[in-house]
Amino acid sequence: MIFSDDFPEGAIFSQSIPEKTRVSAGTPISVVVSLGNAEGKTQVPNLIGLPFSKVEQILNESDLRLGKVIYEPSSTVLPNTVIEQFPRPGFYVQKGSSVDVFVAKELSEIQKQNY
């Protein structure tokens, strides 16, 4: 994916095999997809594995804001650690967009007994 002023976001503007070329079924073809104009966009930072207390500051530095916060029980990471996010890290979004995070919470006593 590449920014382009000439092609709208989502448009394919390059491919590894020229059009109308005969190929065998199942032949892989690489394409380059336009991200559209770069103006007003920012890359989503990787928040996974970070303490929730740092999330809002990091998002503000990227001109993004905190969206939904969903707490999920986890036995593999410390409570208040980001375990997932949407949009995914590395995606380009409009500045000011929100990023939803999934945050680990401590297992309840009943959940601990089931592990």
Backbone angles phi, psi at 34, to 5 degrees: -75, 135
Question: What number of CA atoms fall less than 13 Å from residue 47's CA on the CB side?
Answer: 34
The answer to whether the beta carbons of residues 48 and 21 sit under 8 Å apart is no
Which one, of 96, 109, 23, lies nearest residue 62 by Cα? Answer: 96
At 110, is the pLDDT very low, low, confident or very high (cuts 50, 70, 90)?
A: low
At 112, is the pLDDT very low, low, confident or very high (cuts 50, 70, 90)?
A: low
- Give the model confidence (pLDDT) of 97-106 as tens digits: 999 999 999 8
